[in-house]
Amino acid sequence: MDEDEDTVMGDSHNLSTLTTNPSFTEVPLPTHPSNHPTPNIAPSSIPQPGPTSLSPGSEQSQPRETIVSTGMAPPERLIKTSDGDSSTAKQLKRDSLVEPDSDWSDDEVMAKAGLPLASLATGLCYDHRMRYHCEVRPQSDVHPEDPRRIYYIYKELCRAGLVDDPESSRPLAPKTLQRIHARNATEEEVTLIHSDAHYAFVRSTTDMPNEVLIQLEKDRDSIYFNNLTFASAILSTGGAIETCLAVAQRQVRNAIAVIRPPGHHAEDDAAMGFCLFNNVCVAARVCQNRLGDACRKIMILDWDVHHGNGIQKAFYDDPNVLYISMHVYQDGRFYPGGPAGDWDQCGSGAGVGKNVNIPWPDQGMGDGDYMFAFQEVVMPIAQEFDPDLVIIAAGFDAAAGDVLGGCFVSPACYAQMTHMLMTLANGKVAVCLEGGYNFKSISKSALAVTKTLMGEPPDRLLSSSPTDSAVAAVRRVRSIQSQYWSRLYPKTSDHPVFENRLHDILRIYQSNQLYESCRLTPLHIYRTAISKSFDKQVLASTNYHERVPLIVIFHDPPEIVGQPHPMTNKLEAHNVWMADAITEYVKWIVGKGYAVIDVNVPKHVSREAAAGQYKGDDEDRPSATEELAGYLWDNYIDANQATEIFLLGVGNAFLGVSNLLMNRENLYKRVSGVVSFVSENALRAVASHTQTWLSKWYRENSLVFVSNSHGLWNDKDRKPLSKRYGQVVRSPKSNLNEMLDEHKEEVYKWISERADREESDEDS
């Protein structure tokens, strides 16, 4: 089998079946590079292929195992061995389980004999006719949702010897994949999730002229159509239904459905994001309706890199469907966009707590991040929910190599996640393909998942350490979900009274301490938009307006280190410490007779009383910091007589310094030097299109200490830094307070020398 071949395995026999059936009309397929050879098929319906070989020219070759859903569940026990066949019975009688005092009955022990589940095969649903959904007039760039996606996955499974197909590599696996035949989903099934109008719209594309279909592609949200779109869509949905039913009824041990078009973005009344009908949702609802209490509770795990807005919307208030999605969110900017995929969307009504979003802050997530989310959130919740069936909405666009996803999940990680999910629902796991747009990535990932379903242990992970951003995201999810799930700790407090956030209380303490030791007093900020936020946050020495060197310090709040109670999440005062190295700098400045303005920039801009909820860095913080810096310069710095002005920026608060230099024309001419400490925050450039000499001046008059663990140093091939980043020094320390302590003498000397030089120049 050539690497780049595009022959559809099994087309030969299936085409003969179609063309000899008098009930179907021959119509030409749309021209598309991924549809060769061209079959003849009715535009509104795709006939069911027989249980024949998947290889051209081998019509008499029968697969080892086929399965057609009957809708009847097999007996839940094995037939008890007769008394005449006593070898097994006698052996069991000698077992302690059937002693008179045992809690196990003889019948129960007999039913457990052998390996009834392990002896079942893993199912595979694949039908090449799902490839007939394609663009009417392909552009030079092939659409990401390429019809060949499913073929490359099937081809990979054949190469691994997992499919009993004449084209498969030999030798075959001892127990090959058992075929589950796709069928057309009925209108009654599809409309369990979708509106009648939506079903009618998709069906209407069967008779639309090409010009109308092309215009629909332009008007709709990331979706294309042709005259066979409806036929492929109902076949994809029917394949998902048959796969889930086969697993739920124990006709197979577990199964994978290699289907398209995908479905998890499709909403009740809208096709979007390459999706027409929501395959997983329809399959889940059919299983619930047909199997009753035997399949009442269903868990849907969606590891597609995009949030499954359609699945979430379908089951948002359903207490019997647990939906967990791990996806890139980017504050609602990543497709499908909006707030629906955020961590605080937990369900509504009876379904509250049954919707779990794990939103990654950005692309670039890897194995360690996904495994951490599984171990900390996914599995504890899943085990407590205890589902009757697990459906994986298996998009492989978070896989390494997928350009759309931009993440780095390995096949081994997908296998590890599958392996953990197989411990649920007595192993009833159905995997349904969603996204994934790199042929190699989806093929290797799907193969790893399939091998795991078949009993192969997953490969070991090369890296299992989560990133800081993943840890923060997962802990935030765990925090809000802990109120709905008993296995998640620590619990959030439900105390009804929250008055103040600690950062405001600490600043009052700092204000009192700095007054006692250095006689610093608050500067009033007469600006309605920021006055409340920065009350007592700006302190100044009594000589800030005199003709002496002035050092203006913009810094983040002091670091708080604590050990919360592992069960209640409460922080007890004796287990909390504050690290504040800035105070040493203030004392040195005052001791030298210099003036100081100390600006504490809170990470959260207070607008109302605290609500007892976790808050990240406020999105308004940068603009508030910039506004405050400008206000201070106009009213307390530029208007006074300081001989030299030094600007010191610590952490993210340096934004106030950099924006001040860039946005105020020629302000830098009054500044004698800039010192910056960069730890976890980005290294900021100081440059301006209107101030030609600003970058050169900044390079010559700055001292920028960068954390030893900063990502800047990880790029071994990086070019020398531009002068707009200043005079960069690599610190041996990583923590911000440790850096401040490590370099304080160096900073003192640097400021003193420049201040003395300026004074001597004035005297001369």
Identity of the residue numbered 157: L
Model confidence band, residue 112 (pLDDT cutoffs 50, 70, 90): low
Which pLDDT tens digit goes with each residue over 688-734? Answer: 888 888 999 999 999 999 999 887 887 666 778 888 899 999 999 99
Please tell me if the domain spanning 11-78+114-136+143-481 has the same topology as the one spanning 502-763: no
Identify any residues that bridge with 431 across adjacent strands, giving them in sequence order: 256, 392
> What pLDDT, on a 0 to 100 scale, did the predictor assign at position 607?
53
pLDDT digits (tens, 9 = 90+) for 514-544: 888 898 999 988 876 665 667 788 999 999 9
pLDDT category of residue 613 using cuts at 50, 70 and 90: low
Cβ pair 672, 758 in contact under 8 A: yes
Tell me, rounded to whole angstroms, the distance of Cα 257 from its chain centroid: 23
Query: What b/e string do you get for 351-373 counting C-beta neighbours within 10 Å, with b at 16 or more?
Result: bebbbbbbbbbbeebbbbbbbbb
- Segment 407-420 shows an average pLDDT of 97
Class assignment of domain 502-763?
alpha beta
307 is catalytic: no
Residue 241: pLDDT over 60: yes
- Read off the pLDDT band of 617 (50, 70, 90): low
Short-list 494, 593, 559, CA closest to 737: 559
Helices first, then strands: H and E counts in the chain: 23, 19
Domain boundaries, the chain: 11-78+114-136+143-481, 502-763
Task: Please state which architecture CATH assigns to domain 11-78+114-136+143-481.
Answer: 3-Layer(aba) Sandwich (3.40)
* Tens-place pLDDT, residues 256-290: 999 999 999 999 999 999 999 999 999 999 999 99
What 3-state class would DSSP assign to 110?
Answer: helix
Catalytic-labelled residue, pool 181, 198, 265, 555: 265
Q: Using CB atoms within 10 A of its CB, is residue 503 exposed (0-12), middle (13-18) or buried (19+)?
A: middle
154-179 burial string, b = 16+ CB within 10 Å, else e?
bbbbbebbbbbbbbbeeebbebbbbb
Average pLDDT of the chain, as a whole number: 83
The answer to whether 405 and 438 have CB atoms below 8 angstroms apart is no
